[in-house]
């Protein structure tokens, strides 16, 4: 008798197969719903532009790397990424790596759907690393539930069947979380883990420049959190006893200064993202109810629970018709209401394993959600964070707490439906 397939491997196989079936449906139903972009076949949609540009590049490029053809093709779509390839600060700021990945992939395979297969594989492996890191922190029950949610929730399935770069960002993000969690819990990593960290770090810096610095900073602070706390306590104790600063405290101060220097050096991409997603008034035009959840300054911090809820539910809405796969999933995504409620209830729960891990994850999620609360593609890569929180809440909840969760989830679903039907 052959070796029995483990539960997580079965989830991974099913996750891959479900996405392949959905991709086949997208291709077969192309006459009914646009197949080249989640929101439609138009160049303003990032996924369509990536993929269509790659197809045209494969037909026109004179070699595997043809910068002139690359620039001309994306210029014709109103995308000037090709003009920012030869300066490292501009390259980091404009994050063009995904453009090149898809262009080279389609050039080699001569098949536009190869990008979708790549994304399906990336998200499937993301399920694996979310499972592993969750298993370390929260245990097997929570890890399996989080993996199942990632494998089968409609939005995650459908999104991974299109050409957004956020599938790669999700993979890199949670491989890095897995690496640091594993090292903290086991005290060691394999050479494959270290190789993966180098690759994922480079990929993140060249695909999501601004948040990459923040993520790495959060991961390092999480890993050294206990030591940092001990050094600070020792330093405060030394001040009270009129002793000199110890070497560790001085070292911590030096690291802090170096981080500040890096922020100054790369302030251009950070400020560009800040201006684009928070302070730009154009981002608030036509948002309707969503504008109420948008935090524009520190005085709006009271909106944070609403912002987190709406971020978890994205994309959601009903425009009166189904003209794209994006419209369809915006209606179906009301099923995320129980996840949002579970996550919020877990935030106020006291008995959390490894509290620093949870709060650093939530910090990163909030940093992502506040500027991008209504930009669903930016939130996809961090969606496992509320899924993990909801999973651990359900794994540890009493019967009474589960009843409250179900009741509040029902109320939220009714409220969301009422808002979009009557506004």
d(CA 255, CA 259) in angstroms, rounded, equals: 6
* 8 A C-beta contact, residue 174 and residue 128: no
Residue 321 DSSP SS3: coil
* 8 A C-beta contact, residue 337 and residue 412: yes
pLDDT confidence of residue 285: 38
Provide DSSP, 247-292: HHHHHHHHHHHHHHHHHHHTHHHHHHHHIIIII-GGGGTT-GGGGG
Residues recorded for the chain? 423
For 269-324, what is each residue's pLDDT tens digit? Answer: 555 555 554 444 444 433 455 667 777 777 778 888 889 999 999 998 877 678 99
Provide DSSP, 365-419: HHHHHHHHTT-HHHHHTTTHHHHHHHHHHHHH--HHHHHHHHHHHHHHHHHHHHH
Q: What is the arithmetic mean of pLDDT over 355-360?
A: 94
Q: Which residue has the higher pLDDT, 302 or 110?
A: 110
pLDDT confidence of residue 243: 56
Residue 170 DSSP SS3: helix
Query: Which DSSP helix (H) or strand (E) runs through 235?
Result: helix 225-240
Confidence of residue 41 (pLDDT cuts 50, 70, 90): very high
CA dist 52 → 29, 45, 55, 67 (Å): 19, 11, 5, 17
Lowest mean pLDDT among 93-102, 311-320, 392-401: 311-320
348 pLDDT higher than 60: yes
CB contact set of 208 (below 8 Å; sequence gap of 6+)? 95, 165, 169, 381
Lowest mean pLDDT among 64-73, 243-252, 376-385: 243-252
Query: Which DSSP helix (H) or strand (E) runs through 202?
Result: helix 191-205
Q: What is the pTM of this model?
A: 0.90
């Amino acid at each position: 008798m052959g070796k029995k397939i483990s539960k997580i491997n079965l989830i991974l196989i099913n996750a891959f197969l479900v996405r392949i079936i959905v991709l086949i449906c997208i291709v077969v139903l192309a006459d009914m719903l646009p197949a080249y972009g989640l929101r439609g076949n138009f160049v303003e949609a990032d996924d369509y532009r990536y993929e269509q540009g790659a197809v045209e590049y494969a037909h026109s490029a004179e070699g595997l790397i043809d910068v002139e053809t690359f620039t001309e093709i994306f210029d014709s779509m109103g995308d000037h990424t090709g003009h920012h390839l030869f300066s490292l600060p501009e390259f980091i700021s404009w994050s063009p790596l995904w453009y090149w990945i898809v262009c080279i992939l389609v050039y080699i395979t001569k098949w536009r759907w190869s990008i979708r297969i790549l994304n399906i594989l990336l998200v499937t492996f993301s399920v694996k690393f979310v499972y592993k890191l969750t298993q370390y922190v929260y245990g097997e029950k929570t890890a399996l539930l989080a993996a199942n949610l990632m494998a089968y929730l409609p939005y995650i399935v459908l999104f991974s069947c299109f050409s957004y770069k956020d599938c790669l960002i999700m993979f890199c993000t949670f491989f890095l979380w897995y690496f640091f969690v594993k090292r903290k819990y086991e005290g060691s990593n394999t050479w494959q883990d270290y190789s993966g960290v180098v690759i994922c770090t480079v990929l993140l810096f060249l695909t999501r420049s601004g948040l990459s610095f923040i993520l790495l900073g959060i991961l390092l602070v999480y890993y050294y959190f206990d030591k940092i706390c001990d050094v600070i306590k020792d330093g405060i104790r030394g001040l009270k006893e009129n002793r000199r600063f110890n070497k560790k405290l001085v070292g911590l101060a030096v690291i802090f200064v170096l981080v500040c220097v890096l922020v100054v050096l790369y302030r251009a991409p950070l400020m560009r993202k800040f201006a684009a997603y928070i302070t730009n008034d154009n981002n608030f035009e036509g948002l309707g109810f969503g504008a109420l959840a948008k935090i524009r300054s520190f005085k709006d911090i009271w909106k944070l629970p609403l912002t987190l809820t709406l971020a978890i539910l994205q994309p959601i809405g009903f425009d009166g018709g189904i003209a794209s796969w994006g419209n369809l999933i915006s209606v179906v995504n009301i099923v995320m209401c129980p996840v949002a409620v579970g996550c919020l209830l877990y935030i106020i729960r006291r008995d959390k394993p490894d509290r620093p891990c949870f709060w650093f994850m939530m910090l990163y999620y909030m940093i992502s959600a506040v500027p991008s609360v209504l930009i669903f593609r930016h939130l996809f890569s961090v969606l496992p964070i509320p899924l993990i929180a909801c999973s651990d809440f359900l794994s540890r909840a009493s019967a009474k707490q589960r009843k409250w969760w179900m009741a509040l989830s029902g109320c939220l679903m009714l409220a969301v439906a009422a808002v979009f039907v009557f506004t």
